């Protein structure tokens, strides 16, 4: 390492002190400014979200009812499929009981057609409503469609889980 001579140290120290010894600076005051002491003007609250139009509300209700109809049909078919799967639980692959259980699971999947169709329709309605609001052709309704869509999606997800659980109980080929 290079030795620092006293002359270099003195020069560095002098440069350092020269940076500190500049002209006094005027820093901004932390006192309140006049604008901060003035009373606040009344600000209007943001406008409430626009309610969905009656036609949109009718479509949402129709698709929600369709999803509920599919859920009821699924629940009815599930009881039969569960019995068939229980009967085939110890049966071999391709046995009569196993085939009957597969057929009942297929019927179970078909019974939820209304739920899946309603979910697809609500997805389409959500996109259409979002586009209409973005284009200025409609005001509001997105939240209502999204809530119905989320409920239908949760229903279909639960149905998928129940079908998967039934399939897992059967011997696999």
Name the pTM for this structure.
0.67
Mean pLDDT, range 118-133, rounded to an integer? 94
Q: What is the pLDDT of residues 38-61, one digit of tens each?
A: 776 666 665 555 555 889 999 999
DSSP string, the chain: -PPPPHHHHHHHHHHHHHHHTSPPP-PPP-SPPHHHHSPPPP-PPPPPPPPPPHHHHHHHHHHHHHHHHHHHHHHHHHHHHHHHHHHHTTSPTTSHHHHHHHHHHHHHHHHTHHHHHHHHHHHHHHHHHHHHHHTTS--S-HHHHHHHHHHHHHHHHHHHHHHHHHHHHSPP-
Look at residue 1 in the predicted model and tell me its pLDDT: 47
């Amino acid at each position: 390492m290079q030795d620092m001579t006293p002359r270099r140290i003195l020069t560095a120290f002098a440069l350092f002190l020269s940076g500190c010894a500049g002209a006094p600076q005027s820093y901004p005051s932390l006192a309140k400014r006049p604008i901060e002491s003035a009373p606040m003007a009344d600000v209007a609250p943001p406008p409430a979200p626009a309610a969905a139009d009656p036609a949109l509300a009718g479509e949402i209700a129709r698709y929600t009812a369709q999803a509920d109809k599919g859920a009821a049909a699924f629940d009815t078919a599930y009881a039969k499929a569960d019995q068939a799967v229980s009967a085939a639980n110890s049966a071999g692959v391709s046995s009569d009981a196993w085939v009957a259980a597969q057929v009942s699971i297929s019927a179970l999947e078909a019974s939820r057609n209304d739920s899946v169709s309603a979910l697809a329709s609500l997805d389409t309605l959500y996109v259409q409503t979002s586009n209409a609001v973005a284009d200025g052709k409609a005001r509001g309704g997105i939240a209502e469609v999204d809530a119905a869509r989320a409920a239908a999606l949760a229903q279909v997800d639960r149905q998928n889980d129940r079908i998967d659980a039934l399939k897992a109980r059967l011997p696999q080929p």
